[in-house]
Amino acid sequence: MKKFAIAIAVLILMMLVNASQAAPVTSTVEASPNPTCGSSHVTLTAEVSVSSDSILSACSSSPDTNSSDTSDDAKEEVANSLNSLGIIIEDIEFPLVVKPNELFNVSVYTAYNFSNETAVYVALYDDDAWVPIPGGEFLGNLSGTGDIPFFFSLVITSPEMVNLTALAAYENESNEWVSDLVFFQIVALNFSIDNIKHPSRVKSNETFSMIIETSYDVTPGTRIDLDIYNTNADKIYKGPSKTFSGTGKQSINIPLPADPSGTMELIVAAFLVNELMKDLEVIDRKSVTINIIEKWIVAAEYFIDSVGEDGTGNPMNASDGAFDLPTERVTASVPTAGLTAGTHKLYVHGKDSKGNWGDVECVILNVTCPFKVSDIDHPTEVKQYNSFAMNVNTSYSFCSETKAKVCVYKRDTEEFLGASHELTLSGSGCEQVQIDLVARSLGVINLSARAYYLNDEQDWVFCNSSDLSINLTAPITISNVIFPNNIKRYNFFSVSVYTNYSFSSEITANVSIFNRDTEKLIGLPDEKVLSGSGSERFRIDLMARSPGAMNLSARVYYLDDRQNWVFCDSSDFYIFVP
């Protein structure tokens, strides 16, 4: 029987790599948004690659495809011997594996030597039932010496292992039939390697997995081996030996060690194991290519404004989640809260698997003040307890829709006084906001108008400020006092005090007369309720009680929120009593 040795034509690609020790190269450094436009963080990205100075050369060789034929040693050729009479089976050609319902051929090669015409019978038998398989039997006479092939066409309708026997017989002179028998097996099955899941590239010498997805329709107890042949390294990796039954799908995981360098050209082959016949038959195979990464990026870092020692910078992340490629897109979120407005430099470099840090590349980052107070329209003087408006002119530049506002504080005490309504701004432009305040004290008040915006973390971020001062004056003043110059002792007289006032709401005011020498109140104050702005006359009736000069002071007051009389203004005069 002829046995077949399967030879695989292999293309071997040998990669000769001059491994460069050059450090990784950093390129395409970008920061976004830039200008910052109020963003609390900017996204820093860069591309870091191992050195590309390696020199590659390739050569290929293609060994001959060999097949070997071996004959059964127990047989002897009949055609060379005139002393032996009969017919023998020299060889059988048949497929070891067929698909169900697939037509296939079995060729039986015979040699014969007869001195006269002799009855000959050649057939294929079902070895289990020992019945001839119809369609190819031969019954006839042969004479002389020669070779003759017999051909049989067969179909196996379902997955199974079929036991067959080729029979060649002749009738001798004693009218007895003498036969030569050869037993063989054919397996009908469906088995395919549907897909191979594998990485397209792996790191040098690392262990990786190949997942082989198969589908099958086989007779119960069918043993199939899965092996992987590395053509470049001329290695065979023995996979698992699996026993399959019936119809189904199965995934098989085979771990493999990566080569040190180059490219792995792999052939995944499925072998049917026939233990009785001691045969292995390839029933399916697929090829895959895996590239070996000899050097890859393992880390990247950035520095702000000045470069420190290697490995001491702020770490960056691989955009795809893992540092495992010769070229990595790296990213980091750089906080801008601690950076002053103006230009800053962000430096980036990477480290490869050999421990080499590369040179830095930088990007200029323009940190902007996205919301600014440019100038303020305000009164220089305001009457106490009057409301007044500050019109704050702002400029802004935001990359996306952002909330902003202006707040006013007392500079001396940091007391919050008021704020504008919240603005929703985007793009660039100018905006005026109005802040309404009330003058609650007298004298010069020092104010600060401060611009804020709401960042992504929902925190109000201070941008800039503009300082101003407003003089808060008395809300009611004395404009004139009318009084007699001379008055007789013990006579009554009147003093008319004319005032100007300005109140934003109803306020109680009074005018009182004091003796400047004794600071005592003289007469009864004249009290009135005032609101808005205008002039008002107050009248106080007095008596001249002693002779001489009366040194007097007319003083005006108003009643505050706490029901305290607050002094505003005074006017001094004197009256002579003879």
Chain segment 384-397, per-residue pLDDT in tens: 777 889 999 999 98
Other beta carbons within 10 angstroms of residue 563's beta carbon come to 7
Q: Residues near 17 by Cβ (< 8 Å), separated by ≥ 6?
A: 54, 55, 56, 261, 262, 294
Last residue of a domain, one of 164, 188, 212: 188
pLDDT of residue 463: 86
Domain assignment of residue 49, given as a range: 1-84+294-368
Residues 496 and 569 in one domain: yes
pLDDT tier for residue 503 given thresholds of 50, 70 and 90: confident
d(C-alpha 317, C-alpha 501), whole Å? 69
Residues 209 and 281 in one domain: yes
Q: List the single range of 264-278, 309-323, 360-374, 423-437 with lowest mean pLDDT.
A: 264-278
pLDDT digits (tens, 9 = 90+) for 323-380: 988 899 999 999 887 788 789 999 999 999 889 999 999 999 988 888 999 999 999 9
d(C-alpha 572, C-alpha 549), whole Å? 13
Residues 169 and 208 in one domain: no
Residues 194 and 289 in one domain: yes
CATH of residue 45 = 2.60.40.10
pLDDT digits (tens, 9 = 90+) for 68-91: 333 344 344 443 433 478 999 999
Residues 100 and 151 in one domain: yes
pLDDT digits (tens, 9 = 90+) for 280-306: 788 999 999 999 988 889 999 999 999
Residues 80 and 90 in one domain: no
Residues 508 and 565 in one domain: yes
d(C-alpha 154, C-alpha 348), whole Å? 72
pLDDT tier for residue 279 given thresholds of 50, 70 and 90: low
Please count the structural domains in the chain: 5
* 3 state SS of 222: strand
d(C-alpha 171, C-alpha 140), whole Å? 11
Last residue of a domain, one of 241, 262, 293: 293
Question: E strands along 160-199, which residues?
Answer: 160-171, 177-188, 190-197
pLDDT digits (tens, 9 = 90+) for 12-45: 222 222 233 577 888 888 988 877 777 778 888 9
Residues 205 and 263 in one domain: yes
Residues 109 and 195 in one domain: no
pLDDT tier for residue 570 given thresholds of 50, 70 and 90: very high
Of 345, 236, 231, 334, which Cα lies nearest the Cα of 280?
236
Last residue of a domain, one of 473, 506, 535: 473
Task: Kindly tell me if the per-residue pLDDT of 274 is higher than 90.
Answer: no
Residues 184 and 199 in one domain: no
Residues 416 and 435 in one domain: yes
Q: Residues near 578 by Cβ (< 8 Å), separated by ≥ 6?
A: 486, 488, 489, 547
